[in-house]
Structure 1
Amino acid sequence: MFEVFAKYLLNQIQLSDEELEMIREVTVVRKLRKNQYLLQEGDIWRFNAFITKGCLRTYSVNDKSNEHIINFAIENWWIGDRESLLNGTPSRFNIDAIEDSEVLLISKDNFAMLTKSIPQFQDLVNLIIERSFVASQNRINSSISHSAEEKYKNFMEKQAHIALRVPQHMVASYLGITPETLSRIRKQTLKK
Structure 2
Amino acid sequence: MPYESLRTYINQYSGSELTDEEFARILEACTPRKYRKKQYLLQAGEVCKYVAFVISGAFRMYSVDDKGVEHILHLSIENWWVADRESALMLTPSRYNIDAVEDSEVLLFTSEKMQDLVATVPAMPKMMARLDQRNFIASQKRLHASISLTAEERYLELLNNNPVFLQRFPQNMIASYLGVTPETLSRIRKKALQK
TM-score by length of 2: 0.95
Residue ranges of structure 2 left out of the alignment (5+ in a row): none
- Secondary structure class of the residue paired with 1:164: helix
Check whether the contact 2:10–2:123 (CA below 8 A) recurs between aligned residues.
no
Percentage of matched positions with identical amino acids: 47
Q: Name the structure 2 match of 1:133.
A: 136
Q: Name the structure 1 match of 2:109.
A: 106
Residue 119 of structure 1: CA displacement?
2.1
Residue 146 of structure 1: CA displacement?
0.5
Residue ranges of structure 1 left out of the alignment (5+ in a row): none
- Secondary structure class of the residue paired with 1:20: helix
Task: Output aligned runs, 1:1-192, within 5 Å.
Answer: 2-12=3-13, 13-192=16-195
Residue 40 of structure 1: CA displacement?
0.4
- Secondary structure class of the residue paired with 1:169: helix
Give the paired residue count: 192
- Secondary structure class of the residue paired with 2:187: helix
2:71 and 2:133 map into 1 onto residues whose CA distance is 24
What is the CA RMSD across the aligned residues, in angstroms?
1.1
Residue 6 of structure 1: CA displacement?
2.3
2:72 and 2:26 map into 1 onto residues whose CA distance is 31
1:15 and 1:3 map into 2 onto residues whose CA distance is 11
What amino acid is the match of 2:80? W
- Secondary structure class of the residue paired with 2:168: coil
- Secondary structure class of the residue paired with 2:123: helix
What amino acid is the match of 2:188? I
CA distances 1:100-142 after superposition (whole Å, capped 9, x unpaired)? 1011011111110000011221110110011001000000000
2:81 and 2:148 map into 1 onto residues whose CA distance is 27
2:97 and 2:166 map into 1 onto residues whose CA distance is 20
Superposition misfits of 4+ residues, deviation over 4 angstroms: none
1:121 and 1:165 map into 2 onto residues whose CA distance is 29
